[in-house]
Chains A and B, each alone.
Chain A
Amino acid sequence: MGKPVHQLDRVVIRFAGDSGDGMQLAGDRFTSETAVFGNDLSTLPSFPAEIRAPAGTLPGVSSFQLHFADHDILTPGDAPDVLVVMNPAALRANLADLPRGGRLIVNIDEFTPRALAKVGYLEDPLADPMLTSYHVHQIPLTSLTKRALDGFPVSKKDADRAKNMFTLGLLSWLYSRPTESTLAYLESRFASRPEIMKANVAAFEAGWSFGETTEDFAVSYQVHPAPLPSGTYRRITGNTALAYGLVAASVRSGLPLFLGSYPITPASDILHELARAKRFGVYTFQAEDEIAGIGAALGASFGGALGVTTTSGPGVALKSETIGLAVALELPLVICDVQRGGPSTGLPTKTEQADLLQAMFGRNGEAPVPIVAPRSPADCFDVALEAVRIATTYRTPVILLSDGYLANGSEPWRIPASADLPDLRVAFATRPNHVGPDGQESFWPYLRDPETLARPWAVPGTPGLEHRIGGLEKADGIGTISYDPANHEHMVRTRAAKVAGIAASIPALEVDDPDGGASLLVLSWGSTYGPVAAATRRVRDAGGRVAHAHLRHLNPFPVNTGEVLAGYRRVLVPEMNTGQLALLVRARYLVDTVSYTKIAGVPFQVAELTHVISDNLGELPG
């Protein structure tokens, strides 16, 4: 056939359709093909909280955006270059995001008067002269799929549902994607229903052939693989990376992993992933509520397991009292909060970073808890290991703050060798640690390691170390109940000093300041890393001088944080909340930070941050 092939350096595609149209699957498969091909990539799925909102309505629109490139990229892209819409609702919900000149692929079969009316189109939007500013491909995707499946022993409904594979085939042709991974996927996914498998494969291949033969597409495109560091890669989402990080921590610590959890969006996939890790001796306990989830995890920690609970912000609120108990008991526990829009039920499927202050302060009494946050989907793996290191070394609950964007977003991940992962082995107490004046040996549960201030972890079953712990204040050392004023003061300050002391074990805050002469520092945490780093690159490409520092540890901060901040005339803190890190940094370091905040349920756009950084630069004397 031989249509011309054009080279591109990067492409952003958005698949959009009804929740039932299989857009997440189409996006996911396209991403796999792209990953196998070797592009760098970043994805952002967006789906309604409702499982099946009424078909064809705006609330029912589900989309999947993918950014892939021949160089390293940091975000799923601000705006699509290509928008695929399966129905009028998808067009209505997404067209405003498509820049002029963008490519629009429309399934015209679904543009019936009734479907148009359902989303408030009074006239056919495809007849709108405004559309001439896009490259529009009006394709009867549904009827082409049905025709391709004519004679296949599948129901009308199943034939209709295969239109996502037809679409995927077309897009795979358009961007010269390898198809093996999709064919292998369909074979294994529908192994028990060969007729469905064959129909989907046929639809996929028909979509590819349609691209090759139709005059509607004059050229196809190629995006060369990205020069990433050598190694073996896979694509990974934040939730999967987090689950794998916890399994890896269990293997590397030698402690059985016990997950106590209650299903909640967007954290449930961690529970699902760990439920499949039984071969690693992983216990997954689906509790009756959030409180029982963390309670069981803490009980398992008392017994010498690696206790973990996974949840989102509303769940953390319910777990607060147990986190406080873990602070008092000084037992290891990891609380993973996959943040979503709040308050209350808020925006279950949308992202936000508004639980930082809840993590920091959301308990009664003085109850300091270390906080760590991953910066990208793959980074969830490393941060899970780090959370476990802190929890087991310092015998403390640790809060890990992921978010909905990281949880469901994906990127290529260079697979580490297990032997290269941190050694997290833990020593349980085995012997009495105190000798009384009478020479009698005994076990004092709150006798601390002088360096870490951690107390011994003596697990039930160890003879001679029987002891009682609880939420009442303890006498330091001996661990008996104490209402003594001086002891309480000492214990509150000791628990705080223990958490503050973790700073000695974490790396210094690094600053990305290539010229060394910037007067503006952008400080980010969590998932804003990608857009902030991409925006600082753009500003530099345009000749601006800007520094970027990213906090992985939110409590305690790296020891040099104050020094770093003091080195810049202005510190800009972009956050997907109303300024929570800015509040902490101002209080702690007396730095007059400038906040840029957004609470829209979606990540920052690179263009938006580029403007904000440039504006701030413009306000500073050269």
Chain B
Amino acid sequence: MSSTTADRPTTLPTLTAKDLKTDQEVRWCPGCGDYAILAAVQGFLPELGVPREKMVVISGIGCSSRFPYYLNTYGMHSIHGRAPAIATGLATSRPDLMVWVVTGDGDALSIGGNHLIHTLRRNVNLTILLFNNRIYGLTKGQYSPTSEVGKITKSTPMGSVDQPFNPVSLALGAEATFVARALDSDRQGLTEVLRAAAAHQGSSLVEIYQNCNIYNDGAFEVLKDPATRDAHLVRLVAGEPIRLGAEGERGLVWRRGHLEGLDAASVPVEDLVVHDPYDPDPTTAFALSRLTDPSMAYVPVGVFRDVDRPTYDRQVSAQLEQASAQAGPGDLDALLAGGDTWSL
């Protein structure tokens, strides 16, 4: 998502992170991963050079959805799961705005799953930040659609039996044109992904692994602990071979229709899968998204997919313009008097 360059101010950006803070007291639990995401967003937005009155943040319900109150732009804290639908109406009718959706794993994938997939397939020009903590926080600790099988919570005392969603796989399956993943605590990686998402024209989905230190603490610890993270994180860099393992000792190779991690030294270099987020075919991106399951053995972070497809709002606007160009702008009197008429 980005607003068109014509809307950008010609002067240098003058906003600072401080300008984007509101006077509202932030009410997330101390230690919540949401703080780090808020700081990264507030820190990064000024570099876009978009005036804050042109930015709108729409959220649903849940801890993450309090986000708009803490960002001094236009904002709406709406109802559970519906933020993508509301944002679709705004982004379609106001292509001059930069529209962000902030949502969580319950909001986006459970109650709002339908709106999420349809927004992605339409390629509405907006950026969706999906805070995934794999738990329901605001309702105090029930399992979510991204909780691992067997999750013991208040609502699943014997363990959950539902297969979870993989949000990146889901977004790719929903024809998303931009899909990325980042970690709340990785300020640099998160900022890079946000930058790429903001530059993308169309729907961008950014899954942000976010720690809920109250109900699901340490869910992503294996990706954060300096002792383990390098062995599990797979940093996706466009144009470079994808390497796995603490030392990058393994490379990814297609074998019998599957991506397999093999000792890089034993594989001809031309067989190594080179990351290409711009590939129109989502097959490799989807295969990469499956590396994560089920145990976070390998977790790719970065941009999975970033392809061009006409955005919904532009196509809709083009039809309005085309209709006017072909038959002239609407004439109300002519419309009302259309069809068979008679005079008395």
Do the two shown chains form a genuine complex with each other?
Answer: yes
Binding site for B on A (CB under 8 A): 32, 35-38, 181, 225, 228-235, 244, 247-248, 251, 256, 258, 260, 277-283, 285, 287-289, 291-292, 295-305, 307, 321-322, 324-325, 329, 415-418, 460-472, 480-481
Bound Cα distance A36, B341 (Å): 7
B76 and A463 contacting across the interface, CB-CB below 8 Å: no
**Can you list 20 A-B pairs with a CB-CB distance of less than 8 A?**
A36-B340, A231-B343, A256-B93, A278-B319, A278-B324, A279-B327, A280-B332, A281-B324, A282-B320, A288-B118, A292-B88, A296-B85, A298-B89, A300-B92, A302-B90, A303-B56, A303-B90, A325-B78, A460-B56, A461-B96
**Pick from A230, A297, A329, A468: contact of B89, CB under 8 Å:** A297
B85 and A295 contacting across the interface, CB-CB below 8 Å: yes
Query: Which A residues touch B89, using CB under 8 A?
Result: 258, 260, 285, 295-303, 305, 307
B341 and A415 contacting across the interface, CB-CB below 8 Å: yes
Query: Which A residues touch B88, using CB under 8 A?
Result: 285, 292, 295-296, 299
Interface membership of B236, Cβ < 8 A: no
Interface membership of B257, Cβ < 8 A: no
Query: Which A residues touch B319, using CB under 8 A?
Result: 278
Query: Which B residues touch A465, using CB under 8 A?
Result: 53
CB-CB nearest in chain B for A458: B74
Asked if A300 meets B85 with Cβ closer than 8 Å, knowing A233-B343, A234-B341, A278-B320, the reply is no
B53 and A466 contacting across the interface, CB-CB below 8 Å: yes
Query: Which A residues touch B24, using CB under 8 A?
Result: 480-481
CB-CB nearest in chain B for A233: B342
Bound Cα distance A470, B74 (Å): 11
**Pick from B78, B115, B342: contact of A470, CB under 8 Å:** B78
B336 and A305 contacting across the interface, CB-CB below 8 Å: no
**Pick from B58, B61, B327, B336: contact of A299, CB under 8 Å:** B58
**Pick from A234, A292, A303, A469: contact of B85, CB under 8 Å:** A292
For chain B, residues 39 to 93, give those with C-beta under 8 angstroms from any C-beta of chain A. 51-54, 56, 58, 61, 68-69, 72-79, 82, 85-93
A466 and B337 contacting across the interface, CB-CB below 8 Å: no
For chain B, residues 167 to 203, give those with C-beta under 8 angstroms from any C-beta of chain A. none
Task: Report B311-332 CB contacts with A as 1/0, cut-off 8 Å.
Answer: 0000010011011100111101
| Nearest chain A CB to B209 CB, angstrom units | 26
| Nearest chain A CB to B303 CB, angstrom units | 26
Bound Cα distance A233, B330 (Å): 20
| Nearest chain A CB to B51 CB, angstrom units | 7
Bound Cα distance A322, B332 (Å): 31
Bound Cα distance A301, B94 (Å): 10
Bound Cα distance A282, B343 (Å): 30
Bound Cα distance A231, B343 (Å): 6
Bound Cα distance A181, B24 (Å): 66
A277 and B77 contacting across the interface, CB-CB below 8 Å: no
Bound Cα distance A384, B307 (Å): 43
Query: Which A residues touch B323, using CB under 8 A?
Result: 278-279
Q: In the complex, which of the residues A244, A415, A417 has the most CB atoms of chain B within 10 Å of its own CB atom?
A: A415
**Pick from B74, B78, B115, B336: contact of A460, CB under 8 Å:** B74
Asked if A460 meets B79 with Cβ closer than 8 Å, knowing A283-B320, A289-B114, A299-B58, the reply is no
Query: Which A residues touch B72, using CB under 8 A?
Result: 466
A288 and B115 contacting across the interface, CB-CB below 8 Å: yes
B115 and A295 contacting across the interface, CB-CB below 8 Å: yes
Bound Cα distance A325, B83 (Å): 12
B340 and A32 contacting across the interface, CB-CB below 8 Å: yes
Asked if A35 meets B328 with Cβ closer than 8 Å, knowing A304-B94, A468-B77, the reply is no
| Nearest chain B CB to A181 CB, angstrom units | 5
Q: Size of chain B's interface in residues, with CB distance under 8 A?
A: 57
Query: Which B residues touch A247, using CB under 8 A?
Result: 330, 332, 335
Asked if A468 meets B76 with Cβ closer than 8 Å, knowing A36-B340, A229-B344, A251-B330, the reply is yes
Interface membership of B339, Cβ < 8 A: yes
| Nearest chain B CB to A39 CB, angstrom units | 10
Query: Which B residues touch A295, using CB under 8 A?
Result: 78, 82, 85-86, 88-89, 115
CB-CB nearest in chain B for A252: B332
Query: Which B residues touch A281, using CB under 8 A?
Result: 320, 324, 330
**Pick from A283, A297, A480: contact of B316, CB under 8 Å:** A283
Query: Which B residues touch A232, using CB under 8 A?
Result: 337, 341-343
| Nearest chain B CB to A596 CB, angstrom units | 36
For chain B, residues 147 to 181, give those with C-beta under 8 angstroms from any C-beta of chain A. none
Interface membership of B97, Cβ < 8 A: yes
CB-CB nearest in chain A for B81: A291
CB-CB nearest in chain B for A230: B344
| Nearest chain A CB to B329 CB, angstrom units | 6
| Nearest chain B CB to A317 CB, angstrom units | 15
B330 and A298 contacting across the interface, CB-CB below 8 Å: no
| Nearest chain B CB to A71 CB, angstrom units | 14
CB-CB nearest in chain A for B341: A234
CB-CB nearest in chain B for A248: B332
| Nearest chain B CB to A325 CB, angstrom units | 5
**Pick from A38, A304, A469: contact of B77, CB under 8 Å:** A469
Query: Which B residues touch A481, using CB under 8 A?
Result: 24, 69
A35 and B77 contacting across the interface, CB-CB below 8 Å: no
Query: Which B residues touch A233, using CB under 8 A?
Result: 341-344
CB-CB nearest in chain A for B71: A468
CB-CB nearest in chain B for A241: B336
CB-CB nearest in chain B for A471: B79
| Nearest chain B CB to A220 CB, angstrom units | 22
Query: Which A residues touch B320, using CB under 8 A?
Result: 278-279, 281-283
A279 and B328 contacting across the interface, CB-CB below 8 Å: yes
A468 and B335 contacting across the interface, CB-CB below 8 Å: no
B69 and A468 contacting across the interface, CB-CB below 8 Å: yes
B92 and A285 contacting across the interface, CB-CB below 8 Å: yes
Query: Which A residues touch B342, using CB under 8 A?
Result: 35-38, 232-234
A462 and B53 contacting across the interface, CB-CB below 8 Å: yes
Bound Cα distance A325, B81 (Å): 13
Q: In the complex, which of the residues B74, B77, B316 has the most CB atoms of chain A within 10 Å of its own CB atom?
A: B74
Bound Cα distance A510, B140 (Å): 56
Query: Which B residues touch A302, using CB under 8 A?
Result: 56, 76, 86, 89-90
A299 and B90 contacting across the interface, CB-CB below 8 Å: yes
**Pick from A244, A285, A463: contact of B336, CB under 8 Å:** A244
Besides A279-B328, A415-B341, 12 other A-B contacts (C-beta < 8 A): A37-B342, A230-B343, A296-B86, A296-B92, A302-B90, A324-B79, A325-B78, A329-B76, A417-B333, A463-B51, A464-B53, A468-B77
* Shortest beta-carbon contacts, A-B, top 10: A470-B77, A296-B89, A299-B89, A295-B85, A280-B330, A278-B323, A299-B86, A292-B85, A300-B89, A299-B90
Query: Which A residues touch B96, using CB under 8 A?
Result: 461
Bound Cα distance A233, B74 (Å): 47
Query: Which A residues touch B228, using CB under 8 A?
Result: none
Interface membership of B22, Cβ < 8 A: yes
Asked if A461 meets B335 with Cβ closer than 8 Å, knowing A279-B323, A287-B85, A291-B85, the reply is no
A291 and B82 contacting across the interface, CB-CB below 8 Å: yes
B76 and A322 contacting across the interface, CB-CB below 8 Å: no
B78 and A471 contacting across the interface, CB-CB below 8 Å: yes
| Nearest chain B CB to A308 CB, angstrom units | 11
CB-CB nearest in chain B for A260: B89
Bound Cα distance A469, B78 (Å): 8
| Nearest chain B CB to A330 CB, angstrom units | 12
CB-CB nearest in chain B for A228: B344
CB-CB nearest in chain B for A442: B23
A461 and B336 contacting across the interface, CB-CB below 8 Å: no
B90 and A244 contacting across the interface, CB-CB below 8 Å: no
Bound Cα distance A469, B86 (Å): 13
CB-CB nearest in chain A for B57: A468
A292 and B336 contacting across the interface, CB-CB below 8 Å: no
Q: In the complex, which of the residues B76, B324, B338, B343 has the most CB atoms of chain A within 10 Å of its own CB atom?
A: B76
A279 and B330 contacting across the interface, CB-CB below 8 Å: yes
A322 and B79 contacting across the interface, CB-CB below 8 Å: yes
CB-CB nearest in chain B for A33: B340
Query: Which B residues touch A467, using CB under 8 A?
Result: 74-75
Query: Which B residues touch A277, using CB under 8 A?
Result: 330, 335
Bound Cα distance A301, B329 (Å): 23
Query: Which B residues touch A291, using CB under 8 A?
Result: 82, 85, 115
